[in-house]
Amino acid sequence: MSDAARSPQPLMACQECDLLQRIPPLPVGGRARCARCGFLLAARPRDPLELPLVLTLTALIVFVVANAMPLMDLAAVGRYASTTILGGARQMWLDGERITAMIVVFCAVIAPALYLLLMLAVLLAARRPPLPHWSGELLRWGLHMQPWAMYDVMLLGILVALIKIAQLATVDPGVGLFAMGLLALLLPAISVTFDAREVWKRVEWKHGDDLAVAAFADGNYVERGR
């Protein structure tokens, strides 16, 4: 960015230790860590908006497959059974563990769906700057959903369940399980290739329509605007 090269880097505070510092312009693939606590302040991925968009679209398609197709099939003494993600939660609900069922649905379906849809909305909006200020709100919610989307944990959980059941019956992994494995890779890939700073650079400031708004402090502590 040419304007970024001209203007001094804005002052920022480390999220984990509040130390004030400036992040130097990063080369592609570069990372900036806090001078005091070592927290990862910023990273500059190669393609911070287009690649995550492609990955998010892919993940949404895989998400549909993972939810629609059976995770595994079971055969024992001439009887067959199979389950999907929602089927697992449904059985929990029917057996009276309703809160647990809701937690499972949240971690397995709602949180990843919200994360992917909100990221999609933000990344599509980012193609036509300036972004409307509500896209900041969407990104905030999307990032909040991230730790609750637990495909990696769920995959390991299903593996343990498979090995336990394999003692009693024949179990075959289904298409849904492979889709889930793919999601366990795609979700972290989106967050690694995405650079939120690129979105914040392009977002339209909310500044002005709220009386309780803080004043912007730039690198020289000069108040701008109000």
Partner 1 sequence: MSGAVVTGAQAGLVSCETCKLLTRPVNAEHAGHCPRCGATLEVRRVQSLQRTWALIIAAAICYIPANLLPVMVSNTFATSDAETIMGGVVYLYSSGSWPLALIVLVASVMVPLGKLLALGYLLVSVQRGMPGSHHERARLFRIVVFIGRWSMLDVFVATFTVALVQLQPLMSVLPGAGVLFFAAVVVLTMLAAESFDPRLIWDVKNNMEKQDG
Residues numbered 87 to 116 that lie near partner 1 (CB under 8 A) are 87-92, 95-97, 99-101, 103-104, 107
First to last CA, the chain: 28
- Of 31, 133, 175, 192, the one binding partner 1 (CB under 8 A) is 133
- Of 25, 38, 130, 132, the one binding partner 1 (CB under 8 A) is 38
Residue 175, interface with partner 1 (CB under 8 A)? no
Query: Cβ of 86: how many Cβ atoms within 10 Å?
Result: 16
Shortest gap between Cβ of 43 and partner 1 (angstroms)? 13
Tokens 């609750």, located at residue: 148
Total interface residues for partner 1 by CB under 8 A = 80
Residues near 19 by beta carbon (within 8 Å), at least 6 away in sequence:
13, 34, 35, 36, 37
Quote the CA–CA distance of 6 and 119 in Å, as a whole number: 30
**Which DSSP state fits 1?**
-
- Of 4, 7, 8, 18, the one binding partner 1 (CB under 8 A) is 18
Tell me the window of 1-9, 59-67, 121-129, 212-220 that interacts with partner 1 (CB under 8 A).
Answer: 212-220
**Per-residue x/- mask for partner 1, residues 60 to 79, rule CB under 8 A?**
-----------xx-x-xx-x
Shortest gap between Cβ of 168 and partner 1 (angstroms)? 7
Determine contact, residues 70/61, Cβ cutoff 8 Å: no
Quote the CA–CA distance of 85 and 177 in Å, as a whole number: 9
